[in-house]
């Protein structure tokens, strides 16, 4: 029975261990140096691990959930991690994936907004800690030995499929675990060409999963959670996956993957519902450009497995192209939310956006800060053609207190975020799934409220 009525907040939050989508975003970054002692040893399928005890939260950092994808494992589906001898000290963040861009930290934001956003996007030092050996996750738990198994919330980071890290400061799960009695997991996985370079046209059997390897990393991380999280105090039968922007897209695609079903029981898609995956023809064209830039012929593809990672990244950065999962008969047989009998149709979904998503993407530009009514209309006309005037009039009527800057970003928010979110919500409901829709409308007071609800 489809469900689109008002969210029974108490019932949903009881199942998910509080609305972590907002609570995690509100977590403040922490310094690992304040940890006072080590945790008790926890057993995993690969061997015992030991973390840090930080204000009653047991913190485990950089735990491998797969074998490092190096050499012949480059561009392959993730392999099971090798059992370890001795105790693994999970006290340091592992590598972030190789990045094509530093994300928002590369943009110069004025005033106090820049320092605030640096807490989200990470520092230069964070960006420098990159490597192919990035298949690691972090766990925060109130009590690994608690009598009652706690809900588990697994966070997939934003940054599209090009950059980002589950180790960024804003994704620290300490406060969410401490104040809301949940076990929090954040995940690093392969990105850009290292996770999504489609080589199937060159060798369909050998590189069958190359175009979706980074997405398969997420499935492997959830398998690790299923097999191990009970020893950290979590309930493997009560796992919520959630993510924002590109992380929301990753959750959307996991919802469509047959082999991911049963590994999670609820989804939260924040400001990033994905309705389609990438086009295989476009992916193949990008691959050809990368190989030409590296001067590698199709019959010498093994050379690509031996190259230094920085050289591959330089070539990928130069030729450009879009990266992300593509349709795959085995793992992603259809686009997200398609079909009435699709695998994830019984999984409850919460999906939503913020009211003013696009202010964050425009606040760093002087032209936006000084946008006049005429300039705003000219820009919208250039994008929306014959519907521009009616669209602007409708938004100005709906937001009578908005100036031209915020009317402009409201229209862009509707087009680039809210439309896809609404379609995803409808598709889930049409497929007889339980779906909850939200809009985050709290206006940020920073710099006089110029961001509205970014």
Mean pLDDT of 309-333: 93
| Angstrom distance (rounded) from CA 250 to CA 243 | 7
Q: Domain ranges for the chain, please list them.
A: 9-347, 353-454
Q: Is the pLDDT of residue 31 over 50?
A: no
Among 3.30.1540.10, 3.40.50.1820, 3.40.50.2000, 2.102.10.10, what is the CATH number of 9-347?
3.40.50.1820
Question: Mean pLDDT score of the chain, rounded to an integer?
Answer: 87
Of 102, 290, 141, 147, the closest CA to residue 211 belongs to: 290
| Angstrom distance (rounded) from CA 3 to CA 130 | 43
Q: How confident is the model at residue 9, as a pLDDT?
A: 34
Widest distance between CA atoms in the chain:
68
Q: Is the pLDDT of residue 290 over 70?
A: yes
> What percent of the chain clears pLDDT 70, i.e. is strictly above it?
83
**Where is pLDDT greater, at 87 or 337?**
87
Q: How confident is the model at residue 222, as a pLDDT?
A: 99
Taking only the tens place, the pLDDT of each residue in 83-118 is: 999 999 999 999 999 998 544 443 456 565 666 666
Instruction: Tell me 40's DSSP state.
Output: P
Q: Is the pLDDT of residue 397 over 70?
A: yes
Confidence (pTM): 0.88
Tell me the two tokens of residue 106: 């590369």
Mean pLDDT of 300-305: 96
Taking only the tens place, the pLDDT of each residue in 116-163 is: 666 555 555 555 689 999 999 999 999 999 889 999 999 999 998 999
Mean pLDDT of 298-308: 96
Phi, psi of 184 (to 5 degrees): -110, 135
- The set of residues, in sequence order, having a beta carbon less than 8 Å from that of 109 and lying 6+ positions away, is 117, 363, 364
| Angstrom distance (rounded) from CA 6 to CA 135 | 39
| Angstrom distance (rounded) from CA 15 to CA 266 | 9
Q: How confident is the model at residue 111, as a pLDDT?
A: 60
Q: Is the pLDDT of residue 228 over 60?
A: yes
- Residue 340, number of CB atoms within 10 A of its CB: 8
Q: Which of 50-59, 95-104, 226-235, 430-439 has the highest mean pLDDT?
A: 226-235
Of 259, 233, 241, the closest CA to residue 60 belongs to: 233
- Please give the C-alpha separations between residue 134 and each of 160, 199, 351, in angstroms, as whole numbers: 17, 21, 28
Helix (H) or strand (E) holding 50: strand 47-50
| 288, 177 contact by CB (below 8 A) | no
- The set of residues, in sequence order, having a beta carbon less than 8 Å from that of 201 and lying 6+ positions away, is 284, 287
How far the first Cα of the chain sits from its last, in Å, is 34
Q: How confident is the model at residue 24, as a pLDDT?
A: 43
| Angstrom distance (rounded) from CA 255 to CA 334 | 11
Mean pLDDT of 17-34: 42
Q: How confident is the model at residue 339, as a pLDDT?
A: 64
| Angstrom distance (rounded) from CA 213 to CA 332 | 12
Of 296, 292, 357, the closest CA to residue 321 belongs to: 292
């Amino acid at each position: 029975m489809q469900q689109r009525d008002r969210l029974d907040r108490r019932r949903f939050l009881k199942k998910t261990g509080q609305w972590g989508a907002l609570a995690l975003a509100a977590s403040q970054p922490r310094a690992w140096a304040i940890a006072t002692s080590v945790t008790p040893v926890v057993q995993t399928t690969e061997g015992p691990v030991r973390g840090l005890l930080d204000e009653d939260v047991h913190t485990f950092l950089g735990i491998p959930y797969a074998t490092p994808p190096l050499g012949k494992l480059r561009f392959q589906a993730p392999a099971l991690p090798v059992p370890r001898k001795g105790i693994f000290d999970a006290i340091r963040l592992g590598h972030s994936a190789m990045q094509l861009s530093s994300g928002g930290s590369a943009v110069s934001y004025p005033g106090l907004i820049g320092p605030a956003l640096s807490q989200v996007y990470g520092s230069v030092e964070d960006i420098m800690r990159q490597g192919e050996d990035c298949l690691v996750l972090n766990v925060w738990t109130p009590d690994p030995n608690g009598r009652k198994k706690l809900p588990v919330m697994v966070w997939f980071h934003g940054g599209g499929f090009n950059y980002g890290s589950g180790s960024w400061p804003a994704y620290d799960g300490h406060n969410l675990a401490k104040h809301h009695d949940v076990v929090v997991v954040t995940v690093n996985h392969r990105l850009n060409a290292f996770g999504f370079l489609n080589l199937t046209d060159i060798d369909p059997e050998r590189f069958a999963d190359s175009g979706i390897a980074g997405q398969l990393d997420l499935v492997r991380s959830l398998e690790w959670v299923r097999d191990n999280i009970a020893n950290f105090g979590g309930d493997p039968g009560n796992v919520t996956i959630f993510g924002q922007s590109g992380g929301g897209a990753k959750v959307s695609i996991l919802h469509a993957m047959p082999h991911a079903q049963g590994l999670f029981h609820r989804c939260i898609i924040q400001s990033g519902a994905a309705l389609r995956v990438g086009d295989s023809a476009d992916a193949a064209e990008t691959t050809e450009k990368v190989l030409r830039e590296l001067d590698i012929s199709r019959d010498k593809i093994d050379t690509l497995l031996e190259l230094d990672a920085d050289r591959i990244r330089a070539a990928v950065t130069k030729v450009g192209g879009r990266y992300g999962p593509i349709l795959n008969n085995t793992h992603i047989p259809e686009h997200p939310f398609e079909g009435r009998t699709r695998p994830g149709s019984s999984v409850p979904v919460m999906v939503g956006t913020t009211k003013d998503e696009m202010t964050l993407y425009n606040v760093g530009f002087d032209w936006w800060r000084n946008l006049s009514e005429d300039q705003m209309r000219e820009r919208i006309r250039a994008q929306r053609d014959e519907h521009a005037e009616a669209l602007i009039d409708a938004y100005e009527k709906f937001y009578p207190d908005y100036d031209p800057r915020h009317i402009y970003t409201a229209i862009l928010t509707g087009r680039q975020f809210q439309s896809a979110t609404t379609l995803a919500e409808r598709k889930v409901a049409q497929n007889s799934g339980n779906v909850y829709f939200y809009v985050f409308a709290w206006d940020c007071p920073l710099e006089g409220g110029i961001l509205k609800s970014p």
